[in-house]
Amino acid sequence: MKRLPSILLAAVLLLSSCGIYSFTGTSIQPDVNSICINYIEYKALKVNPTLSNELTEALRTRFRRMTRLQIEEEEGDLDLSGEVTGYDVAATAITSGDVAAQNRLTVTIRMNFINNKHPEDNFENKTFSAYSDYDSTLSLDQAESSLVAEIIEKLVEDIFNATVAQW
């Protein structure tokens, strides 16, 4: 048992020195230094005029805070692009009088990821979807800003994990 601390220390040093794993959960190769996060286009039928900008900025913020990567305007070692393909509201809980008790806002996006240094990590047209429920006594306009913030957080987490955490 006296050797356990030294074994743990050796394991930590080994993992951190290899340059691939970090304690933020990323597994970025040492030769990858930059990322270009392109503006997420909006192609859903129902319009939310701020969603594309908020999603793009949230992605840039996550990569800036959680990785060592430089954010480039074009031609990064990594390239992330995509489009919002769905922005839908549906009833999720129906009462006995066929009235919606709860509604669900779902946002769907399709993303492309190019790793110019390690193409085996690339993916194309990968779909990510997240939702948030709200009480039907509220209109979408009343609940939308908090719902969208929650959905963006979920989408950014999923995209981050699929690209540099490779979960």
- 94-153 confidence digits (pLDDT tens): 776 667 789 999 999 999 999 999 999 999 999 999 999 999 889 999 999 999 999 999
33-71 confidence digits (pLDDT tens) = 999 999 999 999 999 999 999 999 999 999 999 999 999
In this model, does residue 8 exceed pLDDT 80? no
DSSP helix/strand/coil, 22: coil
Distance CA 89, CA 153 (A): 18
Average pLDDT score over residue span 17-31: 60
In this model, does residue 4 exceed pLDDT 60? no
Q: Please give the structure tokens belonging to residue 123.
A: 């993916």
Beta pairing partners, 87: 107
Write down the pLDDT at residue 26. 67
pTM of the model: 0.81
User: Where does the chain show beta strands of DSSP type E?
Assistant: 34-37, 41-42, 70-72, 78-94, 100-115, 123-135
Q: CATH homologous superfamily of domain 30-165?
A: Lipoprotein like domain (3.30.160.150)
Asked if 57 contacts 156 with a C-beta cutoff of 8 angstroms, the reply is no
Q: Considering only CA atoms, which of 33, 15, 38 is closest in space to residue 25?
A: 15
Rounded to a whole number, what is the largest CA-CA distance in the chain?
68
Write down the pLDDT at residue 100. 72
Boundaries of every domain in the chain? 30-165
